[in-house]
Chain A
Amino acid sequence: MQPFTTHTGIIATLDRSNVDTDAIIPKQFLKSIKRTGYGPSAFFDWRYNADGSPNPAFELNQHRFYGRSILVTRNNFGCGSSREHAVWALVQDGYRVVVAPWKELGGKRLPAFADIFLNNTTKNGMLAIELSEDEVQIIFNQVAAHPGLQATVDLEKQQFTLRGPDPTTFTFDIESSAKQRLLKGLDDIAITLQYEADITRFEKSYSPY
């Protein structure tokens, strides 16, 4: 897995909340038995017209986002199906970072990303950053005002910096284990296999019922 240390790239914004993984990669692409080739199909139903031409009304098709690698969107991104194909599609479509806001609703904090989706990102070298709604709104405003706006993400320092004329830095939280695995590009299975003796010991004394 490709390690993630720092990344600088153009930001693209997608102003929708509750974007589900069916929308990120529709079902017809789940028939493949490969791990590659999903990039051009990311957001397929929104991205293309019936004749296969790019849909100009879809936000991410705007020319100003050409070459983008940072996706900034709204709350509860990646909900629904567990399909890891959604993360494969985003990564293979050139995204290395996805940013979304946590949300306060009825006194409760709702996370920016759905659980399974978030787990899947770290296994594919993609960084998912959770910011506040206000911070994400600042990014939306800045991107609207400055076409081609870039950001620099420093995972070690846990900082997201908007570049351009009005540089702004946001800090973000990340689970320490996810951070370490991303920084080093570690293989989860190899890490667990270090504990193989524990697993064997557990199995010997264990009865499920």
Chain B
Amino acid sequence: MAKTLFEKIWQKHVVRELPDGSALIYIDRHLVHEVTSPQAFEGLRLAGRKVRRPDLSVGTMDHNVPTTDDRMEIKDPISKAQVEAMRGNCKDFGIQMYDLGDDRQGIVHMIGPELGLTLPGLTIVCGDSHTSTHGAFGALAFGIGTSEVEHVLVTQTLAQRKPKTYKVEFTGQLPPHIFSKDMVLKLIGTIGTAGGAGHVLEYCGETIRGLSMEARMTICNMSIEAGARAGLIAPDETTFNYIAAADRPFAPKGKQLEQALAMWRALPSDAGAKFDQSITIDCRRLKPQVTWGTNPGMVIDIDQTVPGPDQAAGYSRTDVENALAYMGLTPGTRLTDVPVDVVFIGSCTNARIEDLRLAAAVFKGRKVAPQVQALVVPGSMQVRRQAEAEGLDQIFKAAGAQWRFAGCSMCLGMNPDQLRPQQRCASTSNRNFEGRQGKGGRTHLVSPEMAAAAAVAGKFVDIRTFMNR
């Protein structure tokens, strides 16, 4: 019978079926960060349990860490205690950790692919919902809670009910200045923030095939914002070239890589494989996407106006009224008339080298508007080095943007990078929830080009006309 990519990965990892109809699934990679793991390690100690396969877990510091020059000295005592707990836990339980100061440190979903840990056909979990990012390699990757982190540490498995499958096909060539960020925001705006719940999304179609690994990761990253546990993209030559690149210490090499390639080439969904749901999105007329509200599904084309309480399909009057009040917007407003205070280019969604190149192309020969604070935060130290090798840091600095060290930074406001109340931010991150970037902060999600252009113009712009000016 024809099988989907998801079914092939699932079947390979079933340790055993369980009496209640769920299955015990083997986990190939467990990524660990400082925020969602301390209570799991505490649980191990209290129960006198060990980590079953420390060799299959890898840790890093990302959520809590400052991204400024003085980052090594964490001033917040509570953050510092958490970072120190992470060091102690990884040391005590024998887990390799890419610490602050390590030249491979970075956001957990950046370093997995960079280190060659993220590979097709694997199961990958992390106590972080954006684990869906790794699906770009054709790996079944999903976020878990801290109790499940503990469960994986002890058993290297998870009991899971088999999710349903959802085929998301993107067709047509992307117009100039339209990116994978716009594709995924359009999808979430169409199916809603719960539209993918209970499903694994498989992104396919000619538009996906034409995307780089970086761009694919942006799409899979935001699967969770559509309510899906995971997103998948079938591996192809683009994937294999990325994995075969130098400097991926955990990736298979030589003969082992040849064997792996043979297996990976058999992973894509078979012709005629059945999905539980499907949708097709035509990319030919896609426009730059900007969120106007307080969840990623509250999104419009840049040339549309902010909707009124009865004009946002799928949202109640109260939802829209709450969102508009929080965002300080009135119905009918054009976002191109709305000034921004802060621009954040970073996060596991859009802080890869390609994203920084796009932002740099906008900043080159231009200046950040005087009233705007612009942060460019590479997702990993590797990306930071690459950007500096290409001279991108010089472009950012010349434009008046801040060039930072690797971390989650202003995506979630757990570290010193935060919005102040009512500050408005054009952000390349993934969540525009209330308070996400700082209490009272107002987040608008956009692509890296749109964010950089907003920094220059001091307000949102239509990147298509801005770049042709």
- Chain A residues proximal to chain B, CB less than 8 Å: 15-18, 20, 22-23, 26-28, 30-35, 45, 74-76, 79-85, 87, 103, 105, 108, 110-111, 114-116, 119-120, 123-124, 175-177, 180, 188-189, 191-193, 195-196, 198-199, 202-203, 206, 208-209
Is B414 in contact with chain A by the CB < 8 A criterion? yes
CA distance A17 to B20 in the complex (A): 31
Q: In the complex, which residues of chain B have a beta carbon less than 8 angstroms from the beta carbon of A76?
A: 193-194, 197, 227
Question: Is B197 in contact with A110, judged by CB distance below 8 angstroms?
Answer: yes
CA distance A199 to B159 in the complex (A): 12
Q: In the complex, which residues of chain A have a beta carbon less than 8 angstroms from the beta carbon of B426?
A: none
Chain B residue at smallest Cβ distance from A193: B155
Is B288 in contact with chain A by the CB < 8 A criterion? no
Question: Is A35 in contact with B198, judged by CB distance below 8 angstroms?
Answer: no
Contact sample, A vs B, 15 pairs, CB 8 Å cutoff: A18-B319, A27-B412, A27-B414, A31-B414, A79-B193, A81-B431, A82-B128, A82-B143, A82-B145, A105-B314, A108-B277, A123-B147, A177-B18, A198-B24, A199-B52
Range for the number of chain B residues in contact with chain A: 35 or more
Question: Is A81 in contact with B129, judged by CB distance below 8 angstroms?
Answer: yes
A117 CB to closest chain B CB (Å) equals 8
Q: In the complex, which residues of chain A have a beta carbon less than 8 angstroms from the beta carbon of B322?
A: 16
Question: Is A195 in contact with B15, judged by CB distance below 8 angstroms?
Answer: yes
Question: Is A84 in contact with B36, judged by CB distance below 8 angstroms?
Answer: yes
Question: Is A120 in contact with B24, judged by CB distance below 8 angstroms?
Answer: no
Question: Is A33 in contact with B119, judged by CB distance below 8 angstroms?
Answer: no
Question: Is B431 in contact with A22, judged by CB distance below 8 angstroms?
Answer: yes
Q: In the complex, which residues of chain A have a beta carbon less than 8 angstroms from the beta carbon of B145?
A: 82-84, 87, 116, 119-120, 123
Q: In the complex, which residues of chain A have a beta carbon less than 8 angstroms from the beta carbon of B225?
A: 80
Question: Is B412 in contact with A208, judged by CB distance below 8 angstroms?
Answer: no
Is B310 in contact with chain A by the CB < 8 A criterion? no
CA distance A171 to B128 in the complex (A): 33
Question: Is B151 in contact with A188, judged by CB distance below 8 angstroms?
Answer: yes
Chain A residue at smallest Cβ distance from B257: A209
CA distance A13 to B39 in the complex (A): 30
List 17 additional A-B contacts (Cβ < 8 Å) besides A45-B435, A82-B145, A85-B146. Answer: A16-B318, A17-B315, A28-B413, A31-B35, A33-B39, A34-B42, A45-B434, A84-B146, A110-B227, A119-B144, A123-B147, A123-B148, A193-B154, A208-B119, A208-B121, A208-B122, A209-B120
Chain A residue at smallest Cβ distance from B161: A175
Is B38 in contact with chain A by the CB < 8 A criterion? yes
